[in-house]
Chain A
Amino acid sequence: MEPATKTETLDIEGMTCASCASFVEKSLSRTPGVQRAMVNFATEKATVDYVPTQASPATLKEAVINAGYGVVERPPDISAAERSAEIDRQKALAYQKLKRRFGVAVGLALLIMPLSMLMLWPAMMQRVNMQWLNYGLLFLTLPVLLYSGREFYESAWNGFKHRAANMDTLIAVGTGAAFLYSLAATVVPGFFTSRGLMPEVYYDTTATIIALILLGKVLELRAKTQTSSAMRSLIGLQAKNARVVRPDGAEVDVPIEQVQLGDLVVVRPGEKVATDGLIMEGSSAVDEAMLTGESLPVQKQAGDPVFGATLNKTGSFRFRVTKVGTDTMLSQIVKLVEDAQGSRAPIQRLADKVSAIFVPTVVVIAILTFVIWFDLAPVGTRLPLALVNFVAVLIIACPCALGLATPTAIMVSTGKGAEHGVLVRNAEALEKAYQVNTVLLDKTGTITRGEPAVTDFWTLPDQPTSQLLQVVAAVERQSEHPLAEAVVRHAEAQGGASLSATGFRAVEGKGAAATVNGQAVLIGNRRLLADEGASLSPSLITQAEQLLSQAKTVLYIAVAGQAVGLIGVADTVRDTSAAAIKKLQALGIEVVMMTGDNPETAAQVAEQVGITRYFAEVLPADKAGKVKELQAEGRIVAMVGDGINDAPALAQADIGLAIGSGTDVAMEAAGITLMRSDLNGVVTAIELSRQTIRTIKQNLFFAFIYNTLGIPVAAGLLYPFFGILLSPMLAAGAMALSSVSVLTNSLRLRAFDNH
């Protein structure tokens, strides 16, 4: 066995021309232990294969430095789990800080409020020096502004420099105006009294607004971390260690990052499978629910693929690693969900347009409110009224609710989908699935299992049925024909002692022959038996014709030159298909089937699963045409197929759902990939899309209504009719709750369960 090599990538600096690259390459190649060195001048990277016992990253670096160039030290590639942990840590810190700022604001606001109310109590007023009280309030308010509210002012200023206005702009201008007015009234009250105005202060307004907005932010942050909880738990599934079998047979626990392609890994009962691979020896039941949503453990044996992050239940086995790092199934699922969470739903287009112009527009409305109040209100009260309404407009407007309405719902639902084995490519796919009114199912591999299975086993009355099955299985076990596999599977499922066959020979296009228990056994088509001179009894012929009329494939069995039985093989309907189709129909969706089979077989399957409309004898190339035909009837069509030969039809459909037989995620044509191979995934996908879009619509409705009602009320539109004015403090309360309401509504999707 050749020594295992390691590959190291170095970032080279200082290379100015292509010849530098070849110089570095030479220097690296000459280093002892280096088997291959490749330097890419364009990317400034060197890729080196070396024998770990003779060279190390340090000696490689030395070689580069000796050649006169430098190696840039990179932080080690961190895994998705670590990256998300780092981000979580930062978020937790930010949350703590926010809570402290909120605490200070609330504490001081609780002092400022009652002190401000002293003014409403005339008996008290006479004993207190107004001037001193105002100064006291000013000093209590300053920490609220400078510590708790500091971020608003900084952010507003930074935004202003970029000609950008955000929510903080509104809060900063609103509270800033109230504070500066109060500051003037405190420091130069004479300016006000000389103009016949009461030098009123609004410190309570300023402090309360900041406290309430911070409360909203605290709640919002808490809710926001939950929107991505499904994603986090998906990343958290990744195994940390693997027990690798060394060439000398020793089993060593190594960190998952060090596991390499081709390594042999041991998995004991109750352990997580470390990464993707193929079972070499042993067998077990593996719980794959975390990847496929399939609740029953899957039986695995030598030759079967296993996937990282799944849970080994009963047996132990060894597998050869076929995928590591970002190539694994889990990483691909994470990537797909991440992509979906970053995509934009068409439904959000209007909200996007509105929020792009929202803040400056609100600022303009607030300024106009101020001007109108100042011009129309009685001279004695016009300034405070104009100010209060100006502040209320700025504070009540909530662009966040608009911005959060769609993405939070998409985030929760794509994560939820992944939990159920439904992978949504992007938000648009979710929206399309919501509109679907017709589902077109490809029969083979979708409604049916897509592989032959034994449906009938018929023997002449005088034959020992169960023993004959084992005799046949003994022959078929040595054959590689798919039909033979079906027979073996059937025999194994029935149980019984397995026999061995000798003198196996395959007869091309006809069947197979061998000797079992000293008797010559034939299994194959009718021609095989005829060629070998085994005659068929009339009852066998009648039976065979009956099976053939059901579109089944018939295998004939002969023992010692006598035809003794028949096996009927057909593609069987999945156990879940009929129920899933019924659920789809209950959702008001018309289910249509399409198949390459003849009309009789098609009718039979359709009847079995409760489908009334179907297309038979559809050539593979015509599948997309059938989708078009349905679309021409004005239907919004979801096409469900296995994703391989159905690609054009999946792409033609309004939304394509690929049933990944087992666990293949690489399905470009499909908007939605179903990890579980049954039709219940289609039901889940459609129900999930319906709930998601409903939630988004509620969110958008709420956000629009909130702002279109709130802003005019805050501007004092109701005052001329009902004498109603909105206090800026109430406005702050409403604003704090509005974005939290939207978030909470989106989080309701976490309760989604299609059972």
Chain B
Amino acid sequence: MDSTALIVTVAGLGLAAFVLWYFFFSARQTASAVSTSGGVQEVAITVKGGYSPDVIEVERGKPVQLSFYRDEENSCSEELLMPDFSIRRDLPAFKTTLVELLPQQAGKFEFTCGMGMLRGSLVVK
């Protein structure tokens, strides 16, 4: 193995390790819902190649209003799925779509795009 191959090997393995860490183990952006005076927990989420924030904390038993603003035309994000709440919604591009739900149980509930590629989760406490 010559020195170039050695460099490529080390760099490649390093890159692979970075990919694994970056996508699976690094810290995520978490946001807690803001309760309005009416007791509705509101969270604004921007959809652009992913959901930001992508971990949303809400309280159990209080209505939640998520407003998804889809800031792109990419077809990947055109649908929003929250299977645990039986929600499938089309998100029009550059518009805000409101999704209302009432979390009854504590737990972590995933939401994804139509193909399950973009992911976020609703953490109910």
Which A residues contact B (CB, under 8 angstroms)?
40-44, 86-87, 90-91, 94, 97-98, 151, 154-168, 217, 221, 338-344, 351-352, 355-357, 359-360, 363-364, 367-368, 370-371, 374-375, 379, 382, 386, 399-400, 402-404, 407, 426
Contact = CB atoms under 8 A, between A and B. Distances in A.
Contact of A402 (B15, B50, B116): B116
Interface string B22-62: 11101011000000111100000000111110100000000
B82 A342 contact: yes
A158 to B, nearest CB: 2
B12 A164 contact: no
- Chain A's interface: helix, strand, loop or mixed, by majority? helix
Contact of A94 (B16, B49, B75): B75
A276 B93 CA distance: 35
B116 A370 contact: no
B114 A340 contact: no
Given A90-B92, A360-B23, A42 B49 contact: no
A156 B49 contact: yes
B102 interface: no
B115 A87 contact: no
B72 A87 contact: no
B73 to A, nearest CB: 6
B117 A359 contact: yes
Contacts of A166: 49, 76, 113, 117-118
Contact of A374 (B5, B20, B29, B74): B5
Contacts of A163: 22-23, 26, 28, 50
A425 to B, nearest CB: 9
Contact of A342 (B26, B28, B54, B86): B86
Contacts of B22: 163, 360
B70 to A, nearest CB: 10
B117 A403 contact: yes
B2 A155 contact: no
B23 A165 contact: yes
Contacts of B39: 42
B83 A158 contact: no
Given A166-B117, A360-B20, A154 B72 contact: yes
B92 A159 contact: no
B79 to A, nearest CB: 9
The 6 closest A-B pairs by CB, nearest first: A158-B49, A162-B50, A344-B83, A342-B88, A403-B115, A42-B38
User: Which of A87, A340, A341 lies at the interface centre, i.e. has the most chain B CB atoms within 10 A of its CB?
Assistant: A87
A338 B88 contact: yes
27 contacts: A44-B38, A87-B92, A97-B73, A98-B75, A156-B49, A158-B74, A159-B118, A161-B49, A162-B29, A162-B49, A163-B23, A164-B49, A164-B50, A164-B117, A165-B117, A166-B49, A338-B88, A340-B86, A342-B81, A342-B82, A343-B83, A351-B116, A363-B19, A371-B12, A382-B5, A386-B8, A426-B86
Contacts of A351: 116
A374 B8 CA distance: 8
Given A43-B38, A163-B23, A168-B74, 8 more contacts: A87-B92, A94-B75, A154-B49, A341-B88, A342-B81, A344-B81, A360-B24, A379-B2
Contacts of A338: 88
Contacts of A221: 75
A360 B19 contact: yes
B86 A399 contact: no
Nearest to B82: A342
A367 B50 contact: no
Nearest to B48: A158
* Most-contacted residue by chain B among A161, A352, A355, A375 (CB, 10 A): A375
A357 B12 contact: no
